[in-house]
Structure 1
């Protein structure tokens, strides 16, 4: 699904305060992987996630998504590839308050394809049912609990059937039980849909329950096991 070959990322290039944050990252994520990305604050996790999510491009090296090199892509091509093949779940769900749960789930589809057809509507409703919220499809985010909102966010991330799901501290804002439920959902969809999951977390207990843990230290992969 994902391959990074010698990915480097620098900021303030050519300036006296130029700094390289990622120092030649080599990494692979296979179909149906369920991996944790961990590391201390300042290790470069956010920068690496921005590269993987095609929100930014490397200074050097190459990042391949489904075999396609992305470094030289323009913003339009990168956005289209990201919209089709990558799903995002964040610590804060970023739902749109004026829209219903169903409309929020449909948002990535509408951005990519315009007005949803019957198939897209059915897929969105089925995903809400999968996360236990079929009865809340017409409710606005403000009418849902934090855990329910995060489950809507997971359904939204999966509506395009992405090859890769990026989860950035997806349980960091939830209580222990709700966090466990959200983690089970990610596990379930990883198994059922075969989408690779890369989960960024500061919680070592959560990382231990993943199949693989990638540790980033000072912009380099310290271990991958």
Structure 2
């Protein structure tokens, strides 16, 4: 069955807006240090952007704030037009569960569960039933990443590149309007990295979901439509580029 783009993912309106975002640690102590210094950023539906910068520039901190895994010291994070700083934990968890997909350098699959159960996990945590429709959608995603034949294996039976493809299928299970990826190719060889990037690009084009991909790999950044550069906690460059992905 071909993957169909849901209407909510095919909208070029802003899906993410950061306004004056600051993050400090050790607030109110002599060791207080600010690592993000007023980030302003808007990401629209269907954009494919790379976030680059040296180690220690604040990329992972910024991604954690965007992913509602942490809260800023100052400023606001709007997800699909909704301000999030004032939300309680339950509200943040619910919004994250229906709006944000995550793929990390280390796939964080649960080895005790089968591949298809790992893919279904975000939907089940969001209240979906483990019924035939949920399993069919998970299998459809596994087929899209070329792993349907491995659905009932366990992650430990797959290669690193295959496990990362499972993680991508899992992130797409909720059809998120925003897909966040933190060094998703950093633990892979160049061939596997190219395969994983091709999947991100395919799902970006199929679903129209916005992709924000943190990478140290200049080859990967060069293939993204927009490149954001973070340096010492400040967004120092934001440019569009012509790509041939």
Whether TM exceeds 0.5 here: the answer is: yes
2:166 to 152, 172, 175: 152
CA RMSD of aligned residues (A): 0.8
- Counterpart of 1:107 in structure 2 is 121
1:90 to 104, 107, 114: 104
- Counterpart of 1:48 in structure 2 is 62
Conserved 8 A contact 2:49-2:213: yes
The alignment status of 1:29 with 2:63, answered yes or no, reads: no
TM-score (norm 1): 0.98
Distance in 1 between residues matched to 2:22 and 2:170, nearest whole Å: 31
Q: How many residues align?
A: 225
Unaligned runs of 5+ in 1: none
Runs of 4+ in 1 over 2 A off after TM superposition: 114-119
Conserved 8 A contact 2:128-2:134: no
User: Deviation at 1:114?
Assistant: 4.7
Conserved 8 A contact 2:142-2:169: yes
User: Deviation at 1:115?
Assistant: 3.0
Q: Secondary structure at the match of 1:98?
A: coil
Conserved 8 A contact 2:180-2:213: yes
State how 1:117-128 maps to structure 2 within 5 Å: 117-128=131-142
User: Deviation at 1:91?
Assistant: 0.7
Unaligned runs of 5+ in 2: 1-14, 240-245
User: Deviation at 1:123?
Assistant: 0.9
Task: Summarize deviations over 1:69-105 as a string: whole Å, max 9, x none.
Answer: 0011111111110011100001111100010000000
User: Deviation at 1:120?
Assistant: 1.6
The alignment status of 1:175 with 2:189, answered yes or no, reads: yes
State how 1:196-207 maps to structure 2 within 5 Å: 196-207=210-221
Distance in 2 between residues matched to 1:7 and 1:118, nearest whole Å: 43
- Counterpart of 1:4 in structure 2 is 18
Q: Secondary structure at the match of 2:179?
A: strand
Task: Summarize deviations over 1:119-149 as a string: whole Å, max 9, x none.
Answer: 2211101000000011100000011111111
